[in-house]
Structure 1
Amino acid sequence: MERTLEDILPIMGVEHDCILSKQGDITVAFEVTLPEIFTLSEEDYEAVHQALIKAIRVLPKQCIFHKQDWYTQDRYKSQANGGGFLADSSQRYFNGRSYLHHSCFIYLTKKPANRRAVTSMYSGLLKKTIVPVETVQPQLLHDFLETVGQFERILKDSGFMQLRRLKDNELAGTKKQAGIIEKYCNLNTPGEVQVLRELSFAEEIRVGDLSCQIYSLADVQDLPAHCGARMTYDKYSTDRTRFPLGFAAPMGLLLFCNHIYNQFIFIEDAQVTLKKLESKRLRLQSLSAYSRENAISRDATNDFLNEAIGAQRMPVRAHFNIIAWSNDPVELKDLKNKVSSAMAQIDAVAKQEVSGAPQQFWACMPGNAGDFPSNDCFDTFAEQACCFLALETNYRSDPPKDGIRFCDRLNGRPVFLDMFDAPRKAGITSNMGMLVCGTSGGGKSMTVNHILHSLYEQGAHCVTVDIGGSYKGLCELVGGYYFTYEEKDPIKFNPFYLPPGDFMDSEKKESLKALLVTLWKQENESFNRSEYVALSNALSGYYDYLQSATNVFPCFNTFYEYLQTNYLEVLKGHNVKDRDFDVNNFLYVLRPYYKNGEFDFLLNATEKLDILNQPFCVFELDNCKDHPIIFPVVTLAITEMFISKMRKLAGKRKVLMIDEAWKAIAKSGMAEFLRYAFKTIRKFNGIPGVITQELDDLISSPIIKDAIINNADIKILMDMRKFMNKFDKLQDVLGLSEKAKTILLSVNKDNREIFIDLGGQVTKVYKNELCPEEYYAFTTDGKERVKVMEYAQQQGSVENGIRALIRDINNK
């Protein structure tokens, strides 16, 4: 016989942010934010477990703890608002990617003292109508809410969970938005258009066109022999580390299908419960002579009573079930295998509910836990019951405009990570120094390319010093300046050039003097005060001369000619002697840098001049890193240029990334600049970064240890499993905790995973998955890079070349 929902709906109303049932039950609901999966240590899981036990212990008698976790299949929707070629390509690539959306709720229900016990044969679902009981007493509500406040405070103080109490509109819904009761009755998924579905319990549970199946853990015989706060996840464990995962995780995020995981813990009068069990033990004692099963049950009951009294355990009743649904007949057939396999991972046996399924489905409705059949529960202790609670959720994402796009390691869903601003505001990090370390082929350059491109898209000025040409593709794609040394096209600078509107300040003058002194003097030669004054006056006079002269291009050549002519007259007028400033010696030593000299190309560039306002610059030093003349000049020019950006581009983010070149820079006396950059750049909204692939560099180099690691709160590490047997030294140098070590050694480069440590407090593994366009723009593989450049030449640009290459690969 069909009945209207209004006749049998157990919910009477919503008042004072509470759900009131027709049987007099009061329910308070919380939306819960859980820790992220794959980020907790064994100690963390134990701490969460103990916090839940403490919270449940404060709940009063006749109270029900109902935790309901929704896991619904969803598709990723791009959050970024447009962008360049690579940004648009990545949005198309990731858009629509399937993942499991998770939301968690805790319902605390207080039953009235005279509430009749409910069984499968006495359920509100079986009644024709439900007559509401009398109004709830105000004092009862006040006392219960006080207890709820204590429960909430205990969980919040643990530091692992955040609870937000749901308001009336969120419970009951509005005309525009469904409440949680309505969502449950219609199995509405997040983002779904609000749909009213018909409920049917005839042959199976059907909600509209959705077929539901319920699998429960309701019998002690089906439970695992051992349970705990966490289990070992073999997939991410190694010979030296055991990777922990929540004990109930297989029924949560690891079970990929639409399902709700319901966890019930019933708090009853402990003394009454123990008295019933004592009577049961005596009854089994008298029957033990007739059956071995009775003897075993007697011993089990006796052990339970001994532990309850001896260890001061809190006896509770519990029930756990999974409600899974689908409208696909093929998927429906596979649901049982999926759920059974998930429960088998914790050595439990799934029982598919048939006759009792409607009552359980009805009792899982928010606010109706008091109607749960008692015969579908089992006796246990709070400590064991809490082992079956789901403790993890998905990776959270920062706003796309502030973060770098990575992917979570479970489903490959894009998540954005703000590594720089948010951690500093939260007190997690104190600087923005970055260290990237990994073996050759581990994905360092691809990762840094991706980070640099993201920062560039967000408006940052990026300067990269490279050995190996890893950033040429990205530089050409974004239209940046690429400086490299080749015999036919040697590297060129023009530190004497000032952009229109710029002026000679003391900092620019000091950097030019440092450059000229480096070219003139050797390291063991002294540089006196009179020479310093003469060079300073020469630079001031030269820039005054440029303002009055016409058709004079600022470069080393014209500066050299100014010294030969105008400045010689100035020196004579000031009676400057050779012992004070030997201008002839200066001109002779610097003659190779003047036109027609051996290095006349180095300081006389006529293109790529406005480096200050160019947001993307790459200096590739592979071919000149061992040159005794060119390399020191190049490093000085880079230093001068970046310091100029750092101080003049107020409000702009500046990024200095040194990829393997730090060793060469350090050898040429630039170690102090590295120390300066890592200690000072953060004050100018700057990000210094160093990339290395040698483990011994981290351990043995004083520059890396003292200047970089100590001032790099952001550490990005690749697959380190090959160093597992000598990992202790690396762990000590990097200051990694045992938790970070366990997470780091789970990284698998074959899955494109990277480990990110923020200030030693946040340690997480992400996938650096790239769309094909990003991959070919960032690739450092020799053959692939050559192919990209060939296509770029054929098509006229790197962007068109990548498009054509991907098109040809897909066609093949």
Structure 2
Amino acid sequence: KKKNRHASIPNPSNQMAVEDIKQVQDVIARESKLLVYTHFNMVVGVPADTDLQKCTNHLENAFGRMGIHISKRAYNQLELFVSSFPGNCYSLNEEYDRFLTLSDAAVCLMYKERVQHSEETPIKIYYTDRQGVPVAIDITGKEGKNKLTDNSNFFCLGPSGSGKSFHMNSVVRQLHEQGTDVVMVDTGNSYEGLCEYFGGKYISYTEERPITMNPFRINREEMNVEKTGFLKNLVLLIWKGTQGTVTKTEDRLIEHVITEYYDAYFNGFEGFTPQQREDLRKSLVIDDRNSSEKRHESERERAVRIEGIIDEIEGRRKELKVEELSFNSFYEYSVQRIPDICEENRITGIDLSTYRYMMKDFYLGGNHEKTLNENMDSSLFDETFVVFEIDSIKDDPLLFPLVTLIIMDVFLQKMRIKKNRKVLVIEEAWKAIASPLMAEYIKFMYKTARKFWASVGVVTQEIQDIIGSEIVKEAIINNSDVVMLLDQSKFKERFDTIKTILGLTDVDCKKIFTINRLENKEGRSFFREVFIRRGTTSGVYGVEEPRECYMTYTTERAEKEALKLYKRELQCSHQEAIEAYCRDWNTSGIGKALPFAQKVNEAGCVLNLTTKITS
């Protein structure tokens, strides 16, 4: 009817209306869309002395930018006001209060009408919705009733001050309370309080007490391709450094030496088998024929000479004994064996002098002789919450990646031994291993974690870290189905690159730029918002914790010192110190954490307040 009415009066505006109606009819026929009657209204309340016209102009402009034209009603305001009450929509006038449109358009303004619900999942991580109502989600995305991800590895990005550490503290606390073993690599004491609260193991790297491990000490059953690969990466890291270039020959050579080293320890070398002698003989004959050196000898004389060479090689191998497994014994074995392997296989271009020089630093008498020769504390495998603090070596180009690699191997061993859920969280330390040399190992660890009920998470704050590194994109982000983003307003001008790398949709980006922008903070505890995407499902959640948790998570030096003062003065446990501290904080009437901590530090003792502090 409406189309025919417009068509009956031939002018440009009516013709456009006819075309619009025809387009809607085509969509309905082609895509089986629904036509629905719709009504929206907005009630605006302002103080009596406010200019109402400014409000309506602002609303008209805001809706106009979205292509929505609104009309101001003056003749049935009471009806509209009453119909806005819950359950009162039946009082709308059918003739002039409703309009006909497609169902997609009708629901586009109702995306907030659905209240977020807690998910059915055995692992519940509590956040709040944007109104402050607690909701539990499956942070892994794969253990709940609805599977959202293929793996539970995660990537977290947030600039300094965005609440990144606060959020991660909240997540790992809840994971640990639900039976998850947690291993963390930290470079800023962000998890010291939480580790102390749980009574976990907090290990700081110092020159006097370095983080040590004997990665070469394994039993016969552990000797596999994976372990050989780890040790090969370790040796190449020391030899070449994180940014070094490794040739295929060097890679194969180190793998060859490691295999022979363990064979010498587990089986000993009694001599070549007939098959090995025959293979070596054929190889030497071919090399001899290709040699530019001319020899005037008979076939018999050449055969005797080659047998002599094989006997000499065999004799040198027999002399190489491995009595114990350690870096020291591997160094001794490799510096003798590598020249022989090169000679036997006519390999050239191997810089053995550099190899010896770089490796010697970790050998007996070297600056880091303990690092790879002393066994790690075996109790770490039984600890359920372990934090490695390696801030003191973050500027060391060799030790930083090496110790990070050692810790990752500890997690891999723990991952295989323990049957419960495990998580490894690597803060800024991940940059130490984000090199071409380590790329394959990182990919391997990420993919292996999925098979052993484990997750690997990387936390970073620098946008350049993900923009400028192909290793991050290929090895870390592509293997992380869970993405967590804190406030990204600092990166807004450069966000297109992040959007591309992380595979974010336009809808995701719109959600991200509402983080911490809503007027929903009044009267709440310390509160930050975070965008979480699991697979293709995403949303913005609130991280809201009581003061007791805040004091456990805080990274503010003054606040940490004030809490330590309470613990020292009261000679009590970490939890009792927090309870006493927060009791005084609540009594003081001071809202912010830092001003109260400053009061405590100024006093230099426990306050034991009974009344509010008056300034």
Structures share fold, TM-score greater than 0.5: yes
* 1:394 aligned residue: 115
1:624: Cα distance to partner?
Answer: 1.3
- Could you say what secondary structure the match of 2:433 adopts? helix
Letter paired with 2:532: I
Q: Is the 8 A contact 1:460 1:655 kept in 2?
A: yes
- Could you say what secondary structure the match of 2:403 adopts? helix
Letter paired with 1:456: H
1:742: Cα distance to partner?
Answer: 1.4
* 2:213 aligned residue: 493
Q: Return the structure number with greater relative CO, CA threshold 8 A, min gap 6.
A: 2
2:575 to 799, 805, 810: 799
* 1:430 aligned residue: 150
Q: Is the 8 A contact 1:557 1:595 kept in 2?
A: no
Q: Is residue 608 of structure 1 aligned with residue 377 of structure 2?
A: yes
1:612: Cα distance to partner?
Answer: 3.1
1:417: Cα distance to partner?
Answer: 0.7
Q: Is residue 729 of structure 1 aligned with residue 445 of structure 2?
A: no
Compare the two structures and name the one with the higher strand fraction.
Answer: 1
1:719 to 453, 476, 487: 487
Q: Is the 8 A contact 1:53 1:382 kept in 2?
A: no
- Could you say what secondary structure the match of 1:636 adopts? helix
What are the Cα deviations for residues 78-132 of structure 1, in whole angstroms up to 9, with x where unaligned? Answer: xxxxxxxxxxxxxxxxxxxxxxxxxxxxxxxxxxxxxxxxxxxxxxxxxxxxxxx
> Partners of 2:494 and 2:363 in 1: how far apart?
53
> Partners of 1:435 and 1:477 in 2: how far apart?
26
- Could you say what secondary structure the match of 2:203 adopts? strand
1:734: Cα distance to partner?
Answer: 2.3
- Could you say what secondary structure the match of 1:482 adopts? strand
Q: Is the 8 A contact 1:401 1:458 kept in 2?
A: no
Gaps of 5+ in 1: 1-46, 58-214, 216-230, 248-295, 298-318, 320-342, 354-359, 543-555
* 1:536 aligned residue: 262
Classify 1:670/1:351 alpha carbon distance in 2 versus 1 (closer, same or farther; 3 Å): closer
- Could you say what secondary structure the match of 1:752 adopts? strand
Q: Is the 8 A contact 1:465 1:618 kept in 2?
A: yes
> Partners of 2:60 and 2:528 in 1: how far apart?
19
1:678: Cα distance to partner?
Answer: 3.3
> Partners of 1:424 and 1:350 in 2: how far apart?
42
- CA-based RMSD: 5.0
> Partners of 1:503 and 1:688 in 2: how far apart?
25
Letter paired with 1:712: S
Classify 1:609/1:594 alpha carbon distance in 2 versus 1 (closer, same or farther; 3 Å): farther
Letter paired with 1:705: K
Letter paired with 1:536: Y
Q: Is residue 414 of structure 1 aligned with residue 175 of structure 2?
A: no
What are the Cα deviations for residues 652-701 of structure 1, in whole angstroms up to 9, with x where unaligned? Answer: 22222221222122248323332333344223322222112122333232
> Partners of 1:54 and 1:476 in 2: how far apart?
61
Classify 1:636/1:690 alpha carbon distance in 2 versus 1 (closer, same or farther; 3 Å): closer
2:232 to 514, 538, 555: 514
Q: Is the 8 A contact 1:508 1:644 kept in 2?
A: no
Letter paired with 2:266: S
Gaps of 5+ in 2: 1-27, 44-57, 269-321, 344-351, 522-526, 589-615
> Partners of 1:449 and 1:439 in 2: how far apart?
16
What are the Cα deviations for residues 535-584 of structure 1, in whole angstroms up to 9, with x where unaligned? Answer: 21355379xxxxxxxxxxxxx997469959xx99xx9xxx98973599x9
1:467: Cα distance to partner?
Answer: 2.0
| TM-score of the pair, normalised by structure 1 | 0.47
For structure 1, which segment, 468-477 or 595-604, has the greater mean C-alpha deviation from structure 2 after superposition? 595-604
Letter paired with 1:770: E
* 1:120-519 correspondence runs (5 A): 348-350=80-82, 378-380=94-96, 383=99, 392-399=113-120, 401-410=122-131, 412-422=132-142, 426=146, 428-495=148-215, 504-506=222-224, 510=228, 513-514=231-232, 517-518=235-236
> Partners of 2:67 and 2:324 in 1: how far apart?
66
Classify 1:520/1:390 alpha carbon distance in 2 versus 1 (closer, same or farther; 3 Å): closer
> Partners of 1:577 and 1:350 in 2: how far apart?
89
Classify 1:351/1:713 alpha carbon distance in 2 versus 1 (closer, same or farther; 3 Å): closer
Q: Is the 8 A contact 1:480 1:614 kept in 2?
A: yes
1:757: Cα distance to partner?
Answer: 1.6
1:418: Cα distance to partner?
Answer: 0.7
* 1:694 aligned residue: 462
* 1:620 aligned residue: 389
Classify 1:787/1:577 alpha carbon distance in 2 versus 1 (closer, same or farther; 3 Å): closer
Classify 1:540/1:484 alpha carbon distance in 2 versus 1 (closer, same or farther; 3 Å): farther
1:713: Cα distance to partner?
Answer: 2.2
Letter paired with 1:803: E
> Partners of 2:178 and 2:339 in 1: how far apart?
54
Classify 1:427/1:793 alpha carbon distance in 2 versus 1 (closer, same or farther; 3 Å): same
> Partners of 2:327 and 2:140 in 1: how far apart?
47
Q: Is residue 579 of structure 1 aligned with residue 352 of structure 2?
A: no
What are the Cα deviations for residues 194-215 of structure 1, in whole angstroms up to 9, with x where unaligned? Answer: xxxxxxxxxxxxxxxxxxxxx9
1:780: Cα distance to partner?
Answer: 1.9
| TM-score of the pair, normalised by structure 2 | 0.60
> Partners of 1:243 and 1:756 in 2: how far apart?
30
Classify 1:809/1:587 alpha carbon distance in 2 versus 1 (closer, same or farther; 3 Å): same
1:712: Cα distance to partner?
Answer: 2.3
Q: Is the 8 A contact 2:153 2:446 kept in 1?
A: yes
Q: Identity of aligned pairs, percent?
A: 31
Compare the two structures and name the one with the higher helix fraction.
Answer: 2
- Could you say what secondary structure the match of 2:508 adopts? helix
* 2:508 aligned residue: 740
> Partners of 1:242 and 1:605 in 2: how far apart?
66
1:628: Cα distance to partner?
Answer: 4.3
> Partners of 1:722 and 1:580 in 2: how far apart?
55
Q: Is the 8 A contact 2:394 2:400 kept in 1?
A: yes
